[in-house]
Structures are given as C-alpha cells and as structure tokens.
Amino acid sequence: MATHTAPILDRIVESRRASIARLKASGAVSGLPQSVIAAPPVRDFRGALSRPAVALIAECKQRSPSGGLLQRDYDPVGLARRYAANGASAISVLTEPEFFGGSLDHLQAVHAAIEIPVLCKDFIVDPVQVMGARAVGADAILLITAILEDGELASLHALATRLRMAVVVEVHSEAELQRALGADAAIIGLNNRDLTTMKTDRATTARLRPRIPAGRLVISESGIDARADIEELERLGVNAVLVGESLLRAADLDSKVRELSGR
C-alpha cells in the first residue's frame, strides 16, 4: 500500500490527479497512442549509468517546495546542454507544473537538444502520464513508491517497460524498498529527502544500500553537494547520483558539474 504522505506531497498528488482528469475530459489524450508510436527512439538510460565511476544525473527544475525559486530565468535547454558538455551521463527534467514550474514541453525540447538519455521527473499516478512522457521523448520515468499502491506501481512499471523506457523506482524506507523489490525494480532510487519533513540525510542511502540485491542499479538522490559526497557514496556501492539544487545554486555551474561528474 502507499505510504502515508505529508500534506505537501498530498497536495502535489491531488493537483496531478485533477490535471489528469481535466485532460481526459477534454479528449486531449485520444491522440497519445499515435504520439507514442511517432516518438524518438529510446536512449539507453541504464547503459549510460553503468560505468566504473559514479554517474551524474543532472536535474533541470525552476523551483521546488523545499528550495523555493532556483532559476529566475529558467532555460532547461541551456542547462541541459551545459550539463551534458561538462560530464553529466543523463538529464532529469521536472515536468510537474504547479509546484516545480515544469512541463512536458521542457522535456521534449531538452531531448531534442542533447544526445544523452533524459529522465521524466514527475509525480506519476496514471498511465496517461507514462504515455505522455514517452510521446515527448522520455527515455526513463520516475515512480515514487510513497504515492502508489502496489497494483499501481506494478501496472505503471509494466507499461513503461512495454514502451521500452527505464524505470527508476524511488524509495525512502525499508518498507518501500521491499515493495520496490517486490515489483522487480531493476533501478532503485534512494531518496535521501524525507517527503514528510522535506529534510535530507545521506544516511538513508547508507542504511538502505546494503539491503539491495546484486544486479540492481542504485541511484542516490538529494543532499549531494560536493565531490566528497560522491566518493562516500561510491564506497557504499552507489552507481549514480541525481543532483539538482546544488548545481542550480552554484556560482559556477560548469565547474560544479565537472566536480560532481569527476571530470
């Protein structure tokens, strides 16, 4: 079953469900199957992260409930190009509009501008979102265990897999990790941010990483600010990190990307 969530997370999920309902009522989803067929070929997200060193997934987002406004003149394409040029292995694009200032248009533009894989970062609760992400070029999607029932997690995971996208299943606790493993998740995202308090603690990754069986690709998310953090996570056996705010707040973004990517 879905984990009990915090008011802010509940508000985000309610907003997404309402938006999906409006979309369905308008009839705008009728063309999705054809759009999926016409979408660009899927890039190998897992392969891009399967390297000897810890890979960097660099995130494009304008704002967040925890960090506030991060980019006043938000240019996701410009950011993605700089990320890719300075060593990022993949790009994460926020597509949630109300709380993060994102859109599927951002993802589509980013995918067209770069050659590395793109992750759709959203609060996905409906198959329409999975199909919409693929239609604009997403190579991978994020599924958040805390907001999904077991049946929803399984069906959304299966749909994305049929569409040849990679699926990052995000967890924050032992119980959520067991649910992710039960869904046969091949890529596990360990979120160091507690979504009930919005506080971050990298000890979450240290606690959960040993419980993940061999053969899974492991991503550590949130609270990663410096090269020393990456080296600590590498010792724990983490394959990749997802970083947003520390890049977006950096005085020298290009240098920060090189630092975290190990260039």
Q: How far, in Å, are 23, 81, 179, 186 from residue 71 at the CA level?
A: 28, 16, 35, 33
Coil, strand or helix at 60: strand
Name residues whose C-beta falls within 8 Å of residue 168's C-beta, 6 or more positions apart in sequence.
119, 140, 141, 142, 143, 187, 188, 189, 219
In angstroms, the CA 157 to CA 142 distance is: 9
Q: What burial class does residue 151 get, using C-beta atoms within 10 Å of its C-beta: 0-12 exposed, 13-18 middle, 19+ buried?
A: exposed
The rounded distance, in Å, linking the Cα atoms of 221 and 218 is 10
Distance between CA atoms of residues 66 and 195, nearest Å: 10
Which long-range CB contacts under 8 A does 237-240 form with residues at least 24 apart? 237/209, 238/54, 238/190, 238/205, 238/209, 239/49, 239/50, 239/54, 239/55, 240/49, 240/54, 240/55, 240/56, 240/57, 240/89, 240/90
Catalytic residue list:
59, 61, 121, 170, 191, 221-222
Nearest to 209 by CA among 232, 183, 226: 232
* Amino acid (one-letter) located at 262: G
